[in-house]
Structure 1
Amino acid sequence: MVGCLSLLALFLQDNILSIDGSFFVILVLVLVLIVVLNSILFKPINRILDERERLTTGSTSEVGAIIADSERRLAHYEETIARARAESYRNLEARRRNALAERARIIQQAKDEVAEEIRQAKSQIALQVSEAKSRLEQEAREIAVKVSSNILRRGVGGRII
């Protein structure tokens, strides 16, 4: 305000420049020009600059959000893979244990079958040995009777004690 008064005092002096009615017209025109330029030029430019800043900052923040989302998804993906891998290892180990148990069962069954066959074979061999002994005893008696009959030249009652 003081500046305007000093400027006005300067113009009121008898200088080369003198204030007349054109000064006020020019002042009004300058003020109108400022208002018009402000609404037509400066505000749209400021809006464009603000929009550019928002888009630039927004893009940067969007990129940050996308990167954060990507990292979160990558961590989830890696966790899912780790869980799936652990599950497959557990399944593989369970199948291996089941296969070993089945193998042991089959081996034990084969051993039991072989043991039963051996027992039956021993039983048959013992029976055959017993039958062979009986036949041998019978044949030995018959031979003894024949030998005794031949030696004594008479019939022996078929009994040898």
Structure 2
Amino acid sequence: MKNALLQQQIHQFLTSMQYDIQLLYSIPDMYSRNLILNQLTYKLSSLQFLYNLVMSNSQTVYGAAVPIQNQTNDIPTTGYPLVNMQNGRTFTKEQLANYTGRNGMPAYVAVGDVVYDVTNHRVWAAGTHAGLQAGGVYTNEFSRCHAGEEMILNQLIPVGRLVD
């Protein structure tokens, strides 16, 4: 029953993603394209989660976990995903405060020591989310609201590191 539900959810995500991809070809508006791309990123992240769930279920035999050989742990001790920074860009809290999504500036937020671009992320529309304004450090707020949901950060684009 559990596998049938997972298969159904995976099928719904794949069907929806195929529709979104076809939609990208017909929409000339760049803003709408960015929204669809953000939705695709979210759906891909959800598919990755479901895949990991299916794989963890398949590694259980009669209720006992089967050890996996050569598996590496990609989760750092902070509990947040590892971020592969392409550039060595750094931000102080004062510099980060300028990235509010207003006056043509992108919207950035920091969680832990990683700065993320939330400019085109749907939940950060207009540079705000749940009463928070882009340009801030929200490690504690993220931990309180999204405990155990660190995969949310995988939907965001890392743009640099926060330094003192």
Instruction: Normalising by structure 1, report the TM-score.
Output: 0.22
Which is strand-richer, 1 or 2? 2
**Structure with bigger gyration radius:** 1
Greater RCO (CA < 8 Å, at least 6 residues apart) = 2
Which is helix-richer, 1 or 2? 1
